[in-house]
Structure 1
Amino acid sequence: MELTTFWFLLIGVLWAGYFLLEGFDFGVGILLPVVGVDDRSRRLAINTIGPVWDGNEVWLLVAGGATFAAFPEWYATLFSGFFLPLLLILVALIVRGLAFEYRGKRDGVVWRRRWDTSIFVCSLVPAILWGVAFGNILRGVELDAQHEYVGGFFNLLNPYALLGGLTTLVLFTLHGAVFLALKTDGPMREHAGRLAARLALLAVPVAAAFLIWTAITHRDGWGIALSAVAAATLVAAIPLTRARREGWAFTATGATLLIAVAALFVTLFPDVMPSTVDPAYSLTVHNASSTPYTLKVMSWVAVCFTPIVLLYQGWTYWVFRKRLKLSDIPA
């Protein structure tokens, strides 16, 4: 396997891990006004992701850093062409982190309500914009012969990309509801389970519409096969959520996100950013990559340190595996 292909696949794995883990973080934040009927219940919901949310964001940092090092041309075009949406995502992630840390610094009702609203908004915005961004990457954008984006901001708000944003929104929200049902007990568990059952019925047609549109547009055999598997796991989540089999339901929604990202990258390959102006202007794993020596050094670093990071994060989830109850939250 060529090193350019290896790093393209590794970046796909990093994005899949980010969507899997940060996806339920976003979902819990989006559902906070729904499941949080009072301050204690909102604190319970936040505590389910409290020990892990910042570690989950490391996957985004590593994915961005790997893209910068392995495919600098892709990184430059992506972050210049998508500057405004990526800036909005960055601001939302910063404010959301502040909200988690600062909402408990005072006992005032208004103080906490404002930070809770920030958690909701700053979870909603990235959940939509990540889908819009990847929808545009898969669809292709206006790149000229110098691989520079020549379109405008509103060119990114095309129907296909907006459907991609709606898809990530409903999938992350469903994933978050299942996670809440998995991590809590008592009334919160029952409430989150009912929400998950309803959200699953909404997620299936939305995701199916996006996958069918993608299959018709690209006609990639492997991408279609993976999309079909992702659709099957999502459909399987419906009876699992209704039966309150939270562990299996979380496995199903997690598998849906992982396989959907895999389908996206398989469909995209060998392009990393197709051009709608002229296919010859597209960025590929070959013309956007670093030198072979750089990729070789990075590969050894990845082989040495990636297992350590995975083991540490897995240990973190094991330590905080216990279900939480409302009685665990002091008045």
Structure 2
Amino acid sequence: MELHNVWFVLIAVLWIGYFFLEGFDFGIGVLTKLLARDRTERRVLINTIGPVWDGNEVWLLTAGGATFAAFPEWYATLFSGFYLPLLLILVCLIVRGVAFEYRHKREEERWQTNWEHAIFWTSLLPAFLWGVAFGNIVRGVKIDENKEYVGGLVDLLNPYALLGGLVTLALFTFHGAVFAALKTLGDIRTRARAMAVKLGLFALVPALGFLLWTQASRGDGKSLVALVVAVLALAGAVGAVKAGREGWSFGLSGVTIATAVAMLFLALFPNVMPSTLDGDWSLTVTNASSSPYTLKIMTWCAAIAAPLVMLYQGWTYWVFRKRIGTQHIADAH
């Protein structure tokens, strides 16, 4: 396999890892308003991701860096053309991190409430905007012969991309509800399980519509297999959480996200950003990639560093694997 194809696959894997891990992060943030009944329960939800949320974002940094190094033309066109939505995502991630760290620094109710509002909105908006961004990448955008995006912000708000945003928001919130059921104790666990069933059933309809739309417009046999696996995994995740098997449900909801993202990359290949103006102006894995020597050096670096990072992150999840409940939250002063 050519190295530019290898790096296309590796970048797809990085995005799958990011959406799998950050997906339940975003879902927990949204559930601080939908599931938690009081400040103590919001603290329980936030504490379930407290040790891991910043490590999950490393996958985004790595995916962005890998795209910059392996496919500079793709990176340049993507980040210049999608400047405003990606900037909004970046601002949300910054504010979200600050909210996690600053929320407990003062005891005033107004202070903590404002940061809790920030956690909710800075989780909801990126969960939606990532789907819009990837919907546009797969659908194609206005790229001219100079490999530059010549469309406007309104062009990115098309029905297919907006449906993609609804799908990622729904799937991430469901993923977060399953994670909450997996990581909590008592009444909040019971309510998280019930909400996960409702969210999963809600997510099934737009997800099926979006994936079928993708298959009809750009799919092939491989993407069809990924579509079937994603839909069956989502249905299985709903059934498992309803039966109280949160571990199985979390694994299956992760499979749903992974195969759905894989389907998008399968439908995209060999393009990395199709042009809706002229197919010959599309960015592909060949005309957007770095030199073979650059890709070779990157491959060696990734082969050494990636296993170490994954082992460390896996160890972090193992250390903080126990469930928590309201009884573990210290009383307010």
TM-score, scaled to structure 2: 0.99
Equivalent position of 1:111 in the other structure: 111
- Of stretches 22-31 and 239-248 in structure 1, the one that deviates more from structure 2 is 239-248
Q: What residue number does 1:204 align with?
A: 204
**Where does residue 52 of structure 1 map in the other structure?**
52
> 2:215–2:267: 8 Å Cα contact kept in structure 1?
no
What does residue 287 of structure 2 align with? 287
Return 5+ residue gaps in structure 2 as ranges. Answer: none
List, as ranges, runs of 4+ consecutive aligned residues in structure 1 with deviation greater than 2 Å.
none
TM superposition shift of 1:24: 0.1
Gap regions ≥5 residues in structure 1:
none
CA distance in 1, matches of 2:34, 2:21: 21
Residue in structure 2 matched with residue 7 of structure 1 by the alignment: 7
Q: Which residue of 2 aligns with 1:264?
A: 264
Partner AA of 1:242 in structure 2: K
One-letter identity of the residue aligned with 1:120:
F
Q: Does 1:35 align with 2:35?
A: yes
Question: Could you tell me which residue of structure 2 aligns to residue 252 of structure 1?
Answer: 252
How far did residue 219 of structure 1 move?
Answer: 3.5
**Root mean square deviation, CA, Å:** 0.6
Match of 2:308 in 1: 308
Q: Distance in 1 between matches of 2:275 and 2:165?
A: 21
- Shift of residue 216, structure 1, vs aligned partner: 1.1
Q: Which residue of structure 1 lines up, in the alignment, with residue 16 of structure 2?
A: 16
Equivalence for 2:177: 177
* Equivalent position of 1:226 in the other structure: 226
1:199 is paired with a residue whose SS is helix
Further displaced range: 159-168 or 31-40: 31-40
Identity of aligned residues (%): 62
Q: CA deviation at 1:40?
A: 1.1
The structural deviation recorded for 1:183 is: 0.4
Distance in 2 between residues matched to 1:35 and 1:229, nearest whole Å: 29
The equivalent residue for 2:89 is: 89
DSSP-derived class of the 1:103 partner: helix
**Aligned counterpart, 2:324:** 324
The whole-number CA distance in structure 2 between the counterparts of 1:185 and 1:36 is 13
**Matched residues, number:** 331
| Structure 2: distance between partners of 1:117 and 1:232 | 35
Residue aligned with 1:51, SS: coil
TM-score by length of 1: 0.99
Residue 142 of structure 2 aligns with which residue?
Answer: 142
For residues 38 and 234 of structure 1, the distance between their equivalents in structure 2, rounded to whole angstroms, comes to: 30
The CA distance in 1 between the partners of 2:15 and 2:300, in whole Å, is: 20
Alpha-carbon distance between aligned partners in 2 of 1:239 and 1:304, rounded to the nearest angstrom: 40
Deviation at 1:36, TM superposition (A): 2.0
Q: Distance in 1 between matches of 2:133 and 2:267?
A: 16
Task: Look up the match of 1:152.
Answer: 152
Q: Deviations over 1:176-199 (max 9, x none)?
A: 000000000101101110100111
* Range moving further from structure 2, 218-227 or 115-124: 218-227
CA offsets 1:81-130 (integer angstroms, 9 cap, x no match): 00000000000000000000000011111111100000000000000000
CA distance in 1, matches of 2:147, 2:227: 29
Give, as a single letter, the amino acid of the residue that structure 2 aligns with 1:2.
E
SS in 1 for 2:13: helix
| 3-state SS, counterpart of residue 272 of structure 2 | strand
- The residue type equivalent to 1:145 in the other structure is E
SS of 1:104's partner is helix
Amino acid at match of 2:19: F
**2:166 corresponds to:** 166
Q: Is the partner of 1:322 in helix, strand or coil?
A: coil
